[in-house]
Amino acid sequence: MAKPVSLPMLLLLAFALVTGKFLGMANAGICVEDMGPCDRMCGSICKLAHRGGQGMCSDVSNQKVCKCFHECAISSSPSNKA
């Protein structure tokens, strides 16, 4: 017959799961990607490309460019980090 799991063991497991999730978030960072010319769809285009992304219009050489700020994938190179 299987041995029941003790409360301290359950608490330790829960702590390990939560800690691992937050450590992954902390290591991810924020990346910025140019999404082309800026228009009223900038935010929607960014959200479609990157879950949770935030689109924002930015002036680059007197032109409005849609910039998408999103959580970097763990394998992303540091060159596009904010």
The end-to-end CA distance of the chain, in Å, is: 54
Instruction: Give yes or no for residue 54 having a pLDDT over 90.
Output: yes
Average pLDDT estimate for 19-35: 70
Question: Residue range 36-47: average pLDDT?
Answer: 96
pLDDT of residue 60: 84
Share of the chain above pLDDT 90, in %: 46
**pLDDT given for residue 2 in this prediction:** 52
pTM of the model: 0.57
